[in-house]
A and B are shown apart, each in its own frame.
Chain A
Amino acid sequence: MFGKGLFGRLDWVTVILYALLVFIGWINIYSTSVGEAHTSIFDFSTLYGKQLFFIGLATLGIIFVLFVESYFFERFASIFYIVSIVLLIGLFVFGKTIAGATSWYDLGFFNLQPSELAKVATALALAKFLSDIQTDIRTGKHQIYALIIILLPAVLILPQPDPGSSLIYFSLFFVLFREGFPIYYLGILIFAVVIFATTLMFGTVWVAIGLIILTLLIYTFKKASVKIPVLPVLGVIAVSILFSLSVNFVFENIFEQRHRDRFVLWLSLEKDENKLDEIRKTIGYNTYQSEKAIESGGFIGKGFMEGTRTKGDFVPEQHTDYIFSSVGEEWGFLGTATVILLFSLFFLRLIYIAERQKNDFSRMYGYGVISILVFHYFINIGMVLGLLPTIGVPLPFFSYGGSGLIFFTMLLFIFLKLDSNRLKDGI
């Protein structure tokens, strides 16, 4: 409908979904932060006013990205990456501390969070490295290079401390999986997590018994034609049990109490109902309040600006990490399900777009974008719903915050820009 120009080639389904998410997010930020005095929505002393300003900046960012030539991103990917690494290192000297984390540069009108910028840069750099004609991800050497690209920013971010952002970089493994990185690594990771959790819940002895029973079952029901060598299986069991034994040690000696408490809550490790309830209301205060707020929304919710717990500011950080609880309280199940649906459609659309790329760099970068966004979404909403331990990451496009919104937007629109050029030869 827009002809063959840039606007004609842009994927408008994605743009509309993006706009919807940003709009719904802003509506909820407005609801959580509007005060008694109803001032203009452009009042920049309010959070919703500021967020509107950030939306404006993000729009400028979109325009910038769309008018830059596509090859620019590929060519300068390494430069971006190096700049963001430098910025991350610079935080140790010039960083501004907000809420205990030294994650920001104070630019006067705006606090820049370089870890957000680094997500874009890392996704670009990884795509560039993997799409290089000389890179073969099946070789150990290149696997290690790829790991370094991913883990370097993660390691730099961890001591800010910002374990949430740090964790996000692991999502880029999905890019590797897509490009042929052995998928059983993911299997091993999931297996390890399961062993970790079950050990905490039931103890090593039961984990061992469970593993042996599982193995026996597999041997009993496998087809006669399938041969499973015995020795490696025994090795896997032995390593699993050793790992299981180490879990308790790590949990008791390496973890700090606040970490332990999160796991105690998450896995309901405390058997005394009263004590568990106590922990839920103290350590798990945020989650408790957010669950309560969501629960109180019911099917249709309390209505826009009618959320009592939202208005009462009972859920801490409700305009940032816990914004989804406001959706739950004021818009009910209808609202939350709609948001989940929108996100799911959005991601599936992006995956579809990524798969239609002919250019490797574009596809790999696309996967990077999707992985990062999905990971944020999963961890954030999982935490707000009390399914995951408390890990502070924002909900993309929803949560209040300039750096987040602007870099998520740029992350996305760089991909859309690359997509718009997919029919051209080269980039």
Chain B
Amino acid sequence: MKKLLLSSIVILIGFTFIGRLSYLQLFRFSPDQILDDPAIKKVYDYPERGYIYDRDGKLLVGNQPAYDVMVIPREVKPLDTLEFCSLLGIDKPDFISKMEKARRYSPRLPSVLVPQLSKEDYARLQEKMRHFTGFYIQKRSLRYYNTKSAANVLGYISEVNEWDLQNNPYYVAGELKGRTGIEKQYEEILRGRKGVKHIQKDRFNRDIGPYKEGRLDTLPQQGKEIHISLDKVLQEYGEKLMHGKRGGIVAIEPKSGEILAMISGPTYDPALLVGRERSRNYSKLHYDTISKPTWDRSILAQPSPGSPFKILNALVGLEEGVIDTETKFRCYHGFYVGNTLRGCHCGGGIRDLNNGIYKSCNAYFAGVFRKIYDKYETTDQGMDVWEKHMKSFGLGDFLGTDLPTGAPGRIPGKEYYDKWYGDGRWAASTIISNSIGQGEIAATPLQLANMTATIANRGYFYTPHIIKSVGGNGNIDPKFSEPRYTTIDRKHFESVIEGMANVYNYGTGRWVQVPDIEIAGKTGTVENFIRVDGERMQLTDHSVFVAFAPVENPQIALAVYIENGYYGSRYAGHIASLLIEKYIKGEITRKDLEKRMLEKTLEHEYNKPYSGEPFKINEYVW
């Protein structure tokens, strides 16, 4: 016993240690501990963010250097504070509080003292920098905008937040990430891939050399440039025309689905969201909840489309065979739903497809709409057929564009009305407003532009997209080059397009003709309401216009939506005609009209509901 005691103890201890070691090194060990190893610091090498060009190769977004003044509090030697402050453009109390903040963060680690100096400040400071020990200048790259337009399309970049950090392991706190628009959508292409250096640290957080001689390190991959389909000239011109107006414009090249312009009014200079004033500017824009400059109306606003939608009802009527081009309806300066007369501004009389369209006759389209439903035994069946046709134009659902945001619009189906009225308690006459694009139908300007492009193409469209080429060699998602066909036969389009061309020639759009360009279009005047302090008020109608040109071989299809612009040709039509002229001819011949559109604002309309006074709507005030 006593001879074996010590041996047993030695063996017991051995097994205990081996057991504990197995637990620690075999059971608890996990191979990715390098991630939280305090001894390895990762230093990143950021590649330059890719440039963004327009469809013609004009630079839209580049990069500019910015200079942060950094401080390592522990290394600071006594200095001429006043001189330093004046060089930095801050006052002394500010300087002292910033230094205190940096020291509290860490005496050993660098903190930003003054972010993003301008080039001029930097130049002045640089010469004197050597007098100030413990401070240094760190260069970083900011976005530079070669345009004051397209802020919402281009989007902005900002520091990653908690959510990004948790959901994407690529990002590290303090990095920048595309937040909206193209910057967001093409984030991975634009940003490239950062390089990583692993640095071995000691417990005082001092660098003591590369980890594993840099075998795990990676080189940065450059961000790629991208070309987008916007036309810089058209975009900038459109934004000028939107001066003082709210609304959205989208222009599409029908033969490719490329978005030529995406204009939202009001807008802002994208440069506001860069640099030292960024957060102040951002708050200002973000908290403007009335005019909402950061809310991209071209893809998010979902008004009722109004009369342009009549064209689709005509096409469905033709496709379903319930009308032909000669089918006639009588307009009694309106039409009867039961015993109620619904008004119409076409002037009354006998209407067929052609003048029904160019005079925008409500009675004609109400008649067509009823006939579509009458073809089927039940309203539900009629509804399903109608809904299917409408949705084939990309309405009532997300289009599948390469924009990070969007809205589905609405093509109401039978479930919608069953819920609203009850099953079997509604009929075509109940929802007759849908025939003229009012009622429950809603579409974004982008959807309207796409609908117009579809008509221009005589029955198909390409999914609208903003990307033209990645890295200068095409290389975009193949889904953007696949045509999407509607359920309407190609042969029905010509007669409808003829009606749309006549809108310009004799109809509601005759005031907005462009010399030498044949345009097919359709006006829209959309009733709308607002709630202010719980009170429902009707406002001046929205002005809507859709058009494509030239009628043969269309190059541009667009939708213009001007909030409270009154009737269709008044603002939307004029703006559309100017944009078409600008795009096709490159210059404007109708200088008076251009001047008027550039100068007129609708601020007086927008102020009405907030004035607290009773107001009139739909006034002719020029």
- Which of these, A183, A333, A336, A378, contacts B5 with CB under 8 Å? A183
A178 touching B38, Cβ below 8 Å: no
A308 touching B40, Cβ below 8 Å: yes
- Which of these, A183, A291, A314, A340, contacts B2 with CB under 8 Å? A183
A312 touching B203, Cβ below 8 Å: yes
> How many Å lie between the Cα of A35 and that of B24 in the bound state?
28
> How many Å lie between the Cα of A377 and that of B11 in the bound state?
13
Contacts of A355 in B (CB 8 A): 3
B2 touching A333, Cβ below 8 Å: no
Contacts of A344 in B (CB 8 A): 10-11, 13-14
A374 touching B29, Cβ below 8 Å: no
- Which of these, A36, A336, A370, A371, contacts B25 with CB under 8 Å? A336
Whose C-beta in chain A lies nearest to the C-beta of B11? A344
Asked if A180 CB lies within 8 Å of chain B CBs, one says: yes
B24 touching A385, Cβ below 8 Å: yes
Asked if B202 CB lies within 8 Å of chain A CBs, one says: yes
Whose C-beta in chain A lies nearest to the C-beta of B206? A312
B20 touching A299, Cβ below 8 Å: no
> How many Å lie between the Cα of A336 and that of B11 in the bound state?
16
B5 touching A341, Cβ below 8 Å: no
B200 touching A308, Cβ below 8 Å: yes
Contacts of B2 in A (CB 8 A): 177-178, 180, 183
Rounded to whole Å, the gap between the CB of B489 and the closest CB of chain A is 69
Contact with A along B204-226 (1 / 0, CB 8 A): 00001101100000000000000
A311 touching B24, Cβ below 8 Å: no
B6 touching A351, Cβ below 8 Å: yes
A367 touching B24, Cβ below 8 Å: no
- Which of these, A178, A314, A332, contacts B3 with CB under 8 Å? A178
Give the interface centre of B10, B20, B29, B201 by most chain A CB atoms within 10 Å: B10
> How many Å lie between the Cα of A332 and that of B28 in the bound state?
13
Known: A36-B209, A312-B201. A298 touches B25 (CB 8 A): yes
Contact with B along A310-353 (1 / 0, CB 8 A): 01111000000000000010001100110011011001100100
A333 touching B6, Cβ below 8 Å: no
Known: A337-B21, A385-B20. A174 touches B29 (CB 8 A): no
Whose C-beta in chain B lies nearest to the C-beta of A387? B20
Rounded to whole Å, the gap between the CB of A296 and the closest CB of chain B is 5
A381 touching B29, Cβ below 8 Å: no
Contacts of B5 in A (CB 8 A): 174, 177-178, 183
B17 touching A340, Cβ below 8 Å: yes
A294 touching B18, Cβ below 8 Å: no
Main secondary structure, interface of B, reads helix
A296 touching B17, Cβ below 8 Å: no
Rounded to whole Å, the gap between the CB of B30 and the closest CB of chain A is 8
A340 touching B10, Cβ below 8 Å: no
Which residues of A in the span 264-300 have a Cβ within 8 Å of any Cβ on B? 291, 294-299
> How many Å lie between the Cα of A367 and that of B202 in the bound state?
42
Rounded to whole Å, the gap between the CB of B359 and the closest CB of chain A is 77
Contacts of A308 in B (CB 8 A): 34, 37, 39-40, 200, 211
> How many Å lie between the Cα of A295 and that of B208 in the bound state?
23
A377 touching B13, Cβ below 8 Å: yes
Rounded to whole Å, the gap between the CB of B209 and the closest CB of chain A is 6
Rounded to whole Å, the gap between the CB of A379 and the closest CB of chain B is 10
Asked if B283 CB lies within 8 Å of chain A CBs, one says: no
Asked if B1 CB lies within 8 Å of chain A CBs, one says: yes
Contacts of A306 in B (CB 8 A): 212
Contacts of B201 in A (CB 8 A): 312
Contacts of B208 in A (CB 8 A): 35-36, 311-312
Known: A36-B208, A314-B38, A385-B20. A374 touches B10 (CB 8 A): yes
B39 touching A312, Cβ below 8 Å: yes
Main secondary structure, interface of A, reads helix
A295 touching B38, Cβ below 8 Å: no
Contacts of A313 in B (CB 8 A): 202-203
B24 touching A295, Cβ below 8 Å: yes
- Which of these, A298, A299, A312, A381, contacts B38 with CB under 8 Å? A312
Known: A367-B6, A385-B21. A183 touches B14 (CB 8 A): no
Asked if A309 CB lies within 8 Å of chain B CBs, one says: yes
- Which of these, A309, A332, A340, contacts B14 with CB under 8 Å? A340
Rounded to whole Å, the gap between the CB of B398 and the closest CB of chain A is 46
> How many Å lie between the Cα of A371 and that of B13 in the bound state?
13
Asked if B553 CB lies within 8 Å of chain A CBs, one says: no
- Which of these, B17, B37, B200, contacts A385 with CB under 8 Å? B17
> How many Å lie between the Cα of A172 and that of B40 in the bound state?
45
Known: A177-B2, A180-B2, A340-B18. A295 touches B10 (CB 8 A): no
Asked if B79 CB lies within 8 Å of chain A CBs, one says: no
Asked if B31 CB lies within 8 Å of chain A CBs, one says: yes
Contacts of B33 in A (CB 8 A): 295-296
> How many Å lie between the Cα of A36 and that of B6 in the bound state?
45
Rounded to whole Å, the gap between the CB of B2 and the closest CB of chain A is 6
Asked if B475 CB lies within 8 Å of chain A CBs, one says: no
Contacts of B203 in A (CB 8 A): 312-314
> How many Å lie between the Cα of A340 and that of B37 in the bound state?
26
> How many Å lie between the Cα of A337 and that of B21 in the bound state?
8
Asked if B133 CB lies within 8 Å of chain A CBs, one says: no
B6 touching A296, Cβ below 8 Å: no
A295 touching B28, Cβ below 8 Å: yes
Asked if B106 CB lies within 8 Å of chain A CBs, one says: no
Asked if B621 CB lies within 8 Å of chain A CBs, one says: no
A312 touching B200, Cβ below 8 Å: yes
- Which of these, A296, A367, A381, contacts B37 with CB under 8 Å? A296
> How many Å lie between the Cα of A198 and that of B3 in the bound state?
30
Known: A351-B7, A370-B6, A385-B17. A296 touches B29 (CB 8 A): yes
Rounded to whole Å, the gap between the CB of A321 and the closest CB of chain B is 16
Asked if B16 CB lies within 8 Å of chain A CBs, one says: yes
Contacts of A183 in B (CB 8 A): 1-2, 5
Rounded to whole Å, the gap between the CB of B394 and the closest CB of chain A is 55
Rounded to whole Å, the gap between the CB of A333 and the closest CB of chain B is 4
> How many Å lie between the Cα of A174 and that of B17 in the bound state?
21
Which residues of B in the span 67-121 have a Cβ within 8 Å of any Cβ on A? none
A309 touching B37, Cβ below 8 Å: yes
> How many Å lie between the Cα of A296 and that of B25 in the bound state?
7
Asked if B22 CB lies within 8 Å of chain A CBs, one says: yes
Whose C-beta in chain A lies nearest to the C-beta of B20? A385
Contacts of A332 in B (CB 8 A): 25
> How many Å lie between the Cα of A26 and that of B333 in the bound state?
106
Contact with B along A190-218 (1 / 0, CB 8 A): 00000000000000000000000000000
> How many Å lie between the Cα of A385 and that of B31 in the bound state?
20
A295 touching B29, Cβ below 8 Å: yes
Whose C-beta in chain A lies nearest to the C-beta of B198? A308
5 A-B interface contacts by CB (under 8 A): A177-B5, A298-B31, A341-B14, A370-B6, A387-B16
Interface residues of B (CB under 8 A from A): 1-3, 5-7, 9-11, 13-14, 16-18, 20-22, 24-26, 28-29, 31, 33-34, 37-40, 200-203, 208-209, 211-212
Known A314-B203, A341-B14, A381-B17; 9 more pairs at CB < 8 Å: A174-B5, A183-B1, A294-B24, A297-B29, A299-B26, A344-B10, A344-B13, A374-B10, A382-B17
Which are the 3 A-B pairs with shortest beta-carbon distances?
A: A312-B39, A308-B39, A344-B14
